[in-house]
A and B are shown apart, each in its own frame.
Chain A
Amino acid sequence: MSGKVDLSVDFCGVKFINPFMLSSSPVSNSAEMVARAFEAGWGGVAYKTIVTDRIPIIHPSPRMHGYHYGDKRLVGLQNVEQTSDRGLKANLLDIMYLKKHYPKHVVMASIMGFSNQEWYDLAKAVTDAGADMIELNFSCPHMTVEGSGAKVGQVQELVQKFTETARKASNLPLVAKMTPNITDMNEPAMYAKMGGADGISAINTVRGISEIGLDDWVPRPNVYGKGAISGYSGPAVKPIGLRFIAEMALNEELGLPLSGIGGIETWIDALEYFLVGATTIQVTTGIIHYGYRIVEDMIEGLSDYMVSRGISRVEELVGKALPHLVETDEFDLESQGITNYDLDRCVGCGQCYIVCNDSAGQALEWDEENRRPRLIEDKCLSCMVCSFVCPVEGLITYKPMPKGWKRQETVTLGKELESQLKL
């Protein structure tokens, strides 16, 4: 069985049996839930963000909205959920319980203070409760409490200050969780590092509006007649998460271990995060969609992949895509190619013809009688849009052309049209 592969990793000096974690959210809300997740195979948890009891937390209702696309469900998820609404004591007891029963699993307590003192108190409390590490939540984009969450993550000085405070209260590894709702994540990440952070996790949810009711004009979720710009997550945000992790991994000055979050459902998604520099990954929406069981497929899929590639440690995969990641001005523009059509398998739908005509190089002619496209090779722009709509897998592929090959000049107005212009 694939169980033979050792998937353990070291993240901020903490040993994980595997790099798969629940991210801080309803999926990690209580010890009972987390215990079931551990039994299912998850290696660690970022426990649902803990706050002090000073300000009671009440979640809006309903607190989530599922964004479906065609018959594909939950390509995105919008939520207005707050931090944990459970009492501090209950959460601390849960952490103690988990550490007692699952000493080999990693419990990272996520905390959020509403004042400097609270950051101190919470860091100290979760350390005393036995957590293995602490995640500093600088990133919830829709807190109803003034001056908290992503509001902090967008003010660099506060990131540094609260990290320093937590550092004073605890010797545990500190991981700063970042909001993607900024231009450059490296800036706050550097401030977190200066404050004493040992690692960075990203991304939290992306501020967005996923849908609006057509009858009531209320953005979803509709909380009694009102909607809000709020946290968007799930498969749709994966490209954004990969980008931020890659940017931080490329920043040598930062040089901190990274935990990748955002749109992970399968071992392939997780692997992509490793390849751009994450050492652990965290999941929420994937679990909201399928349950804890998806970790079985992450473990098995990644293990089989590693065996097939002769890779023995996850660490060997971390950052492996980065050498291939460049600025666009570094591309070799001399090398050009076109599409290749395997017309024996064509079903004659003609979608390629439509999109090439309306959004690309007008490089296809349509053979009406046989219902087949015909490619004018030197007009093909190699944008590949035809391959995106072709219903037959692998019928349209990319073909590199020999050096020196040139495509036709872009279309100019013909003589006749030109003559109609009154210049």
Chain B
Amino acid sequence: MKYADSFKEMEDKGFDIGQAVAEANRCLLCYDPPCSKGCPAETDPGTFIRKLRLRNVTGAIRTVKTNNILGGACGVLCPTPLLCEKECSATEIDRPIQIGRIQRFLIEHSWELGFQPLERAGEKKKEKVAVVGSGPAGLSCAAELAKDGYQVTIFEAKPKPGGVLRYGVPSYRFSEEFLDREIEDVKSLGVEIQCNHPISGREGAEKLLKEGYSAIFVAPGLWEPMRLKREGKELKGLFTATDFLASLREGKHDELGKEIDGRAVAVIGGGSVAIDCVEAAKRLGASDVYLVYRRSFAQMPAEERERIEALQTGIHFLLLNQPVDYVESDGSLKGLKLVRTKLGEEDASGRRRPVEIPGSEWVLDVGVVIEAIGSKPASDSKEWYPSVKTNEKGLIVADEETRKTNVDGIFAGGDIVRGPALVVEAVQDGKLAARAIKEYLSK
């Protein structure tokens, strides 16, 4: 059990009521609160912080939960320094209000109080809606529709609901218990979740429309890892971030621990997922953990806070190095072949492009490599929504305001539309789609 121990609990303990009120008391209660504009899901922090400040605690809980059914998850996981807190006027005085932590507190406090601000719709509507995927986008859309009495069924391929929240984000950042409670809030609205129920096969989603569902929300996320080598090597010691993190959430700590403990590990990538991988590898006892990234520190997509924390915990940042291949023997990984790079012109993403330095190949001595270089739509996904329009990356094309696809009655949102995005953005897509679905069904 020793490996599992460091994955058990959420590390950040959150606020107690005294701390939350003290933090709310720092709020300037701005006119036309800028923080509220900074929230992609319209959770409206300006209002819930004011409510907390004026001792209307239940009202504050109601505001969060009405606007954001995953208010707790967002409170924990949102990169707030880039969102609501970025807009906070108090920053001009000293530092922003810790909005995420207040939001998380309110949801945990609602559980403690047994206060359920959302009521199940009195009257059921006759229309049934199907949601594919129980990630944040699917949960949010389902909750929003159920509140108005629509009969919603979520179809989920995996054994448990939650999407990345369950099978991606490491448990020391977001615990199973917290997730279960928040999903319970969704279920209490009358949403039915059918797990182990992948939508697949020819026209799987489109068939649902003929089977009595009046509208479909497609939110399967991105679960197919991109690979360094096109053929996708099978090597002992080689993992994709998707599998590595999912295995941890499935409780396979000992199995992974055995492979990682005492070994040098390289994680390829510069995003948040790569950061989660280096951190988890460290906890599993890796002797050295390298974060290998082909550009420089400033170009890494991971949040600054995370990057600095990783540096401080002793992760070796191997920047300006492009992985090119693996060194193997007898089906086991022995090292990572790298080429040094330098920064060239800006590319389409506005970041300076890595340019390989000829003749600079070298081998990093590692026993384990985790590829965290992105993920894409499952390769079979086009099969189950063949008429839905997709773009060159395989992402579904959906209207920005309504999340409508080109197919009447099919809506889509979350990562499958945006590409790798955020929980809070997935929540917003669910809300937007639900609004549009209601309008579509009332016609």
Interface residues of A (CB under 8 A from B): 1-2, 72, 265-268, 290, 293-294, 296-298, 300-301, 304, 308, 393
- The distance in angstroms between the C-alpha atoms of A113 and B232, with both chains bound, is 92
Mark contacts of B36-59 with chain A using CB atoms, 8 A cut-off: 1 yes-contact digit, 0 otherwise. Answer: 000000000000001100111111
Q: Which residues in B have their C-beta under 8 angstroms from that of A1?
A: 62
Q: Which residues in A have their C-beta under 8 angstroms from that of B29?
A: 290
Is A266 a contact of B50 with CB atoms below 8 Å?
no
Q: Which residues in A have their C-beta under 8 angstroms from that of B56?
A: 266-267, 296-298, 300-301, 304
Q: Which residues in A have their C-beta under 8 angstroms from that of B57?
A: 301
B421 at the interface (CB under 8 A from A): no
- The distance in angstroms between the C-alpha atoms of A268 and B29, with both chains bound, is 19
Q: Which residues in A have their C-beta under 8 angstroms from that of B51?
A: 297, 300
Return B122 CB to nearest CB of chain A, in Å.
12
Is B59 a contact of A301 with CB atoms below 8 Å?
yes
B350 at the interface (CB under 8 A from A): no
7 sample A-B contacts, Cβ–Cβ < 8 Å, listed by A number: A2-B58, A266-B55, A297-B55, A297-B59, A300-B51, A301-B56, A304-B59
B17 at the interface (CB under 8 A from A): yes
Question: Majority SS of interface residues in chain B?
Answer: helix
Is B58 a contact of A301 with CB atoms below 8 Å?
yes
State which of B16, B17, B25, B55 has its C-beta within 8 Å of the C-beta of A301: B55
State which of A268, A297, A304 has its C-beta within 8 Å of the C-beta of B50: A297
Name the CB-closest residue of B to A392. Answer: B18
Return A134 CB to nearest CB of chain B, in Å.
31
Is A300 a contact of B16 with CB atoms below 8 Å?
no
Q: Which residues in A have their C-beta under 8 angstroms from that of B18?
A: 393
Is B55 a contact of A267 with CB atoms below 8 Å?
yes
Return B90 CB to nearest CB of chain A, in Å.
12
Q: Which residues in B have their C-beta under 8 angstroms from that of A294?
A: 54
Is B55 a contact of A393 with CB atoms below 8 Å?
no
Name the CB-closest residue of B to A295. Answer: B54
| Residues of B56-86 contacting chain A, CB below 8 A | 56-59, 62
Name the CB-closest residue of A to B26. Answer: A71
The total of Cβ contacts below 8 Å across the A-B interface reads: 46
Q: Which of A266, A298, A301 has the most CB of B within 10 A?
A: A301
- The distance in angstroms between the C-alpha atoms of A298 and B51, with both chains bound, is 10
State which of A72, A301, A308 has its C-beta within 8 Å of the C-beta of B54: A301
Q: Which of B51, B55, B56 has the most CB of A within 10 A?
A: B56
The 8 closest A-B pairs by CB, nearest first: A297-B56, A300-B59, A301-B56, A304-B58, A297-B54, A393-B18, A266-B55, A266-B54
- The distance in angstroms between the C-alpha atoms of A308 and B110, with both chains bound, is 13
Name the CB-closest residue of B to A267. Answer: B56
Query: How many residues of B are counted as interface, with CB atoms below 8 angstroms from the partner's CB atoms?
Result: 14
- Residues A393 and B17 in contact in the complex (CB < 8 Å), given A2-B59, A300-B62, A301-B59: yes
- Residues A265 and B62 in contact in the complex (CB < 8 Å), given A393-B16, A393-B17: no
- The distance in angstroms between the C-alpha atoms of A72 and B57, with both chains bound, is 20
Q: Which residues in B have their C-beta under 8 angstroms from that of A293?
A: 50
Name the CB-closest residue of A to B31. Answer: A291
- The distance in angstroms between the C-alpha atoms of A304 and B57, with both chains bound, is 10
- The distance in angstroms between the C-alpha atoms of A296 and B29, with both chains bound, is 14
- The distance in angstroms between the C-alpha atoms of A308 and B51, with both chains bound, is 18
- The distance in angstroms between the C-alpha atoms of A308 and B16, with both chains bound, is 22
Q: Which residues in B have their C-beta under 8 angstroms from that of A72?
A: 25
Is A300 a contact of B58 with CB atoms below 8 Å?
yes
- The distance in angstroms between the C-alpha atoms of A265 and B53, with both chains bound, is 10
- Residues A268 and B55 in contact in the complex (CB < 8 Å), given A290-B29, A393-B17: yes
Q: Which residues in B have their C-beta under 8 angstroms from that of A265?
A: 54
Return A154 CB to nearest CB of chain B, in Å.
35
Q: Which residues in A have their C-beta under 8 angstroms from that of B55?
A: 266-268, 297, 301
State which of B17, B50, B54, B62 has its C-beta within 8 Å of the C-beta of A2: B62
- The distance in angstroms between the C-alpha atoms of A300 and B60, with both chains bound, is 10
- The distance in angstroms between the C-alpha atoms of A265 and B54, with both chains bound, is 7
Return A341 CB to nearest CB of chain B, in Å.
17
- The distance in angstroms between the C-alpha atoms of A298 and B54, with both chains bound, is 8
- The distance in angstroms between the C-alpha atoms of A298 and B59, with both chains bound, is 10
Return A228 CB to nearest CB of chain B, in Å.
31
- The distance in angstroms between the C-alpha atoms of A393 and B16, with both chains bound, is 9
Q: Which residues in B have their C-beta under 8 angstroms from that of A297?
A: 50-51, 54-56, 59
Q: Which residues in B have their C-beta under 8 angstroms from that of A296?
A: 56, 59
Q: Which residues in A have their C-beta under 8 angstroms from that of B58?
A: 2, 300-301, 304, 308
- The distance in angstroms between the C-alpha atoms of A265 and B55, with both chains bound, is 9
Return B143 CB to nearest CB of chain A, in Å.
16
Name the CB-closest residue of B to A286. Answer: B54
Name the CB-closest residue of A to B58. Answer: A304
Return B440 CB to nearest CB of chain A, in Å.
25
- The distance in angstroms between the C-alpha atoms of A65 and B112, with both chains bound, is 41
- The distance in angstroms between the C-alpha atoms of A268 and B52, with both chains bound, is 12
Return A278 CB to nearest CB of chain B, in Å.
18
- The distance in angstroms between the C-alpha atoms of A267 and B58, with both chains bound, is 12
Please give 17 more A-B residue pairs, beta carbons under 8 A apart, in addition to A293-B50, A298-B54: A2-B58, A2-B62, A290-B29, A296-B59, A297-B51, A297-B56, A298-B56, A300-B51, A300-B56, A300-B62, A301-B54, A301-B56, A301-B59, A304-B56, A304-B58, A304-B59, A393-B16
Return A110 CB to nearest CB of chain B, in Å.
26
- The distance in angstroms between the C-alpha atoms of A300 and B52, with both chains bound, is 12
Q: Which residues in A have their C-beta under 8 angstroms from that of B62?
A: 1-2, 300
- The distance in angstroms between the C-alpha atoms of A408 and B58, with both chains bound, is 45
Q: Which residues in A have their C-beta under 8 angstroms from that of B25?
A: 72
Name the CB-closest residue of A to B119. Answer: A1
- The distance in angstroms between the C-alpha atoms of A171 and B291, with both chains bound, is 84
Q: Which residues in B have their C-beta under 8 angstroms from that of A308?
A: 58
Return A347 CB to nearest CB of chain B, in Å.
13
Return B47 CB to nearest CB of chain A, in Å.
9
| Residues of B325-353 contacting chain A, CB below 8 A | none
- The distance in angstroms between the C-alpha atoms of A72 and B53, with both chains bound, is 12
Q: Which residues in A have their C-beta under 8 angstroms from that of B59?
A: 2, 296-297, 300-301, 304
- The distance in angstroms between the C-alpha atoms of A297 and B18, with both chains bound, is 19
Q: Which residues in B have their C-beta under 8 angstroms from that of A266?
A: 54-56
Name the CB-closest residue of B to A268. Answer: B55
Return A10 CB to nearest CB of chain B, in Å.
25
Return B336 CB to nearest CB of chain A, in Å.
47
Q: Which of B54, B55, B59 has the most CB of A within 10 A?
A: B54
- The distance in angstroms between the C-alpha atoms of A322 and B410, with both chains bound, is 62
Q: Which residues in A have their C-beta under 8 angstroms from that of B54?
A: 265-267, 290, 294, 297-298, 301
- The distance in angstroms between the C-alpha atoms of A308 and B116, with both chains bound, is 11
Q: Which residues in A have their C-beta under 8 angstroms from that of B50?
A: 290, 293, 297
- The distance in angstroms between the C-alpha atoms of A51 and B201, with both chains bound, is 82
Return A18 CB to nearest CB of chain B, in Å.
15
Return A126 CB to nearest CB of chain B, in Å.
33
- The distance in angstroms between the C-alpha atoms of A332 and B18, with both chains bound, is 33
Q: Which residues in A have their C-beta under 8 angstroms from that of B16?
A: 393
